[in-house]
């Protein structure tokens, strides 16, 4: 009895220590920049045993996740075998490759998904139960040097319980000074990847004191309030993708179609083609976002439901434009100010503040009430978004910007100067009627 008591205090001590350490790490990371780097496994240098271990890893991750969802109270990360449903009966299968830390991270992921599902439910959205997976293509490697280790010298990565190291390409992207945190091991149609999260000391960037409003659109993807050339990103499906999709569809229409070896080959080819298109789109989106963030220090956008545009008339065009990615990336910056989606940016008049409806084909803006005219309705909308954001920024206390980035990035006086300039250059009276 005595022994177990001591053990108990030992484990609680250990638990407290782990918690304290975690808190300290979190605090240190809070004033660093977080970046994620993707490195690719050189598949030509993988041994047969390694290939088998990788497929076992993802297979066991799937088993474990499904077993945990099925029986949350009895399955723990300590289990060395799980019950797997094979046809009508369930049988016990041994876990050989999936390490204990990875099992823990799977449990945490399931818990997190449950939390977000219940949060959705509370908000009144339709949320179903957590589903079983038929395939698992990514596992979290939570602890650097335990679940995985990086060998820069040999450009290799070792994963817990897999004997040989993986030769990888792209480790040189990660700066020497970076503090390496967790990562994910990911299987895509084009190969195996590691997504490595790193923390780096913040570098002070000096940005020009320039403000801009951005209007998202379909004809012109990004329209700027300062009247510069709009940015358009359109990467339609490539010929290869179209051909692969056509082949797949044609095969599927045959009666009595069986999922043969050829089917999976066809499917992998299609997935690779989609991945390639997506990468090209993402690349252009990242370049656009970088350009915007390094040229302005006050950026206003509207929180538009780009997801809903997908469903509408312009689904294809929206899909090819990567607008969603651009918006999501911009929103992460503390220099970006988001205006509510209910703000009538296309209708409002910057002179008198009253609303005029314009049909979609009308490309210029004319106010019905005071006669204000702008050659482009999109540029006008971008100006309105910027003005609304400046107004909101002025009215809000310092807390909002402080809670976001730790320090106020934008001097309030500069904004004030801008705001008074806007008022002065207009009618001399206030732009907006309350
Ligand atoms: Zn007007």
Nearest to 62 by CA among 36, 35, 93: 93
Distance 365 CA to ligand 1 centre (A): 10
- Residue 21 forms part of a structural domain: no
**pLDDT for res 7:** 61
- Residue 65 forms part of a structural domain: yes
Statement to judge: residues 247 and 318 lie in one domain? yes
Domain final residue pick, 201, 227, 247: 201
Statement to judge: residues 314 and 248 lie in one domain? yes
Distance 75 CA to ligand 1 centre (A): 66
Statement to judge: residues 64 and 180 lie in one domain? yes
Domain hosting 73: range is 32-201
- Tens digit of each residue's pLDDT, the chain (434 residues): 455 556 666 778 888 888 888 888 888 888 888 889 999 999 999 999 999 999 999 999 999 999 999 988 999 888 888 988 888 888 999 999 998 889 999 999 999 999 999 998 898 888 888 889 899 999 999 889 989 999 999 999 999 889 899 999 999 999 988 999 999 999 998 999 999 999 988 877 787 888 899 998 888 889 999 888 999 888 888 999 999 999 888 888 887 778 888 888 988 999 999 999 999 999 999 999 999 999 998 899 998 777 777 776 677 777 778 888 888 889 888 889 998 888 888 888 888 888 888 888 888 889 888 888 888 888 999 999 998 888 888 777 554 444 444 334 444 555 555 555 555 444 433 333 32
Distance 357 CA to ligand 1 centre (A): 12
Cα 262-264-268 angle, rounded to 5 deg:
120
**pLDDT for res 317:** 75
Statement to judge: residues 178 and 282 lie in one domain? no
Statement to judge: residues 304 and 365 lie in one domain? yes
- Residue 8 forms part of a structural domain: no
Distance 235 CA to ligand 1 centre (A): 38
Q: How far apart are CA 187 and CA 59, in angstroms?
A: 12
Statement to judge: residues 333 and 234 lie in one domain? yes
Distance 355 CA to ligand 1 centre (A): 8
Number of domains in the chain: 2
Distance 273 CA to ligand 1 centre (A): 50
- 377-395 helix and 412-425 helix, angle to the nearest 10 degrees: 130
Statement to judge: residues 61 and 113 lie in one domain? yes
69, with CB counted inside 10 A (0-12, 13-18, 19+), is middle
- Residue 14 forms part of a structural domain: no
- Residue 132 forms part of a structural domain: yes
Distance 434 CA to ligand 1 centre (A): 14
Distance 225 CA to ligand 1 centre (A): 18
| Euclidean distance between the first and the last CA atom of the chain, given in angstroms as a whole number | 74
Distance 108 CA to ligand 1 centre (A): 55
**pLDDT for res 185:** 95
- If one counts every other C-beta atom within 10 angstroms of the C-beta of residue 82, the result is 23
Distance of alpha carbon 276 from the chain centroid: 18
Q: How far apart are CA 24 and CA 5, in angstroms?
A: 29
Distance 397 CA to ligand 1 centre (A): 30
Statement to judge: residues 223 and 80 lie in one domain? no
Distance 348 CA to ligand 1 centre (A): 8
Statement to judge: residues 140 and 234 lie in one domain? no
Statement to judge: residues 187 and 219 lie in one domain? no
**pLDDT for res 433:** 33
Distance 373 CA to ligand 1 centre (A): 9
Distance 211 CA to ligand 1 centre (A): 23
DSSP assignment, residue 180?
A: E
- Residue 160 forms part of a structural domain: yes
**pLDDT for res 137:** 94
Distance 371 CA to ligand 1 centre (A): 6
Distance 366 CA to ligand 1 centre (A): 8
Distance 305 CA to ligand 1 centre (A): 27
Distance 224 CA to ligand 1 centre (A): 21
**Which spans in 176-314 are helix H?**
239-253, 261-295, 306-311
Distance 367 CA to ligand 1 centre (A): 5
pTM for this model (two decimals): 0.72
Distance 388 CA to ligand 1 centre (A): 16
Distance 369 CA to ligand 1 centre (A): 5
Statement to judge: residues 288 and 170 lie in one domain? no
- Residue 18 forms part of a structural domain: no
- Residue 193 forms part of a structural domain: yes
Distance 353 CA to ligand 1 centre (A): 6
Q: What are phi and psi of 269, to 5 degrees?
A: -65, -45
Statement to judge: residues 174 and 216 lie in one domain? no
């Amino acid at each position: 009895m005595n022994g177990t008591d001591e053990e108990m205090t030992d484990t609680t001590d250990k638990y407290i220590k782990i918690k304290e350490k975690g808190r300290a790490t979190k605090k240190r990371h809070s004033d660093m920049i977080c970046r994620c780097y993707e490195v690719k496994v050189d598949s030509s240098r993988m041994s047969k045993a390694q290939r088998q271990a990788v497929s076992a890893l993802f297979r066991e991750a799937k088993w474990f996740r499904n077993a945990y969802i099925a029986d949350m109270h009895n399955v723990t990360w300590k289990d060395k075998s799980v019950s797997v449903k094979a046809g009508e009966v369930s049988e016990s299968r041994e876990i050989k490759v999936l390490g204990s830390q990875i099992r823990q991270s799977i449990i945490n992921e399931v818990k997190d998904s449950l939390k977000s599902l219940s949060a959705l439910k509370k908000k009144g959205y339709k949320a179903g139960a957590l589903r079983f997976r038929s395939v698992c293509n990514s596992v979290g490697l939570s602890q650097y040097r335990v679940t995985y280790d990086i060998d820069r010298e040999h450009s290799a990565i070792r994963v817990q319980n897999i004997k040989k190291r993986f030769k990888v390409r792209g480790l040189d992207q990660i700066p020497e000074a970076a503090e390496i945190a967790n990562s994910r091991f990911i299987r895509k149609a084009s190969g195996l990847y590691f997504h490595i999260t790193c923390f780096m000391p913040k570098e002070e960037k000096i940005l020009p004191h320039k403000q801009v409003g951005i209007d998202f659109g379909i004809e012109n993807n990004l329209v700027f309030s300062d009247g510069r050339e709009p940015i358009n990103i359109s990467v339609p499906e490539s010929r290869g993708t179209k051909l692969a999709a056509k082949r797949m569809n044609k095969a599927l229409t045959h009666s009595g179609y069986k999922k043969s070896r050829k089917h999976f080959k066809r499917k992998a080819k299609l997935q690779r083609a989609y991945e390639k298109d997506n990468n090209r789109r993402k690349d252009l989106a990242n370049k656009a976002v970088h350009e915007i963030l390094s040229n302005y220090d006050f950026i206003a956008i509207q929180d538009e439901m780009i997801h809903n545009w997908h469903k509408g008339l312009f689904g294809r065009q929206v899909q090819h434009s990567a607008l969603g990615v651009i918006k999501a990336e911009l929103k992460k910056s503390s220099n970006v100010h988001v205006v509510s989606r209910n703000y009538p940016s296309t209708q409002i008049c910057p002179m008198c503040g009253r609303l005029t409806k314009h049909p979609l084909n009308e490309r210029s803006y004319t106010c019905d009430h005071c006669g204000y005219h702008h050659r482009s309705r999109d540029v006008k909308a971008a100006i309105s978004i910027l003005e609304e954001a400046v107004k909101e920024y002025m009215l809000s206390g310092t807390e909002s910007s402080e809670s976001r980035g730790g320090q106020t990035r934008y001097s309030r006086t500069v904004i004030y100067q801008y705001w008074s300039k806007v008022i002065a250059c207009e009618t001399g009276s206030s732009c907006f009627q309350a």
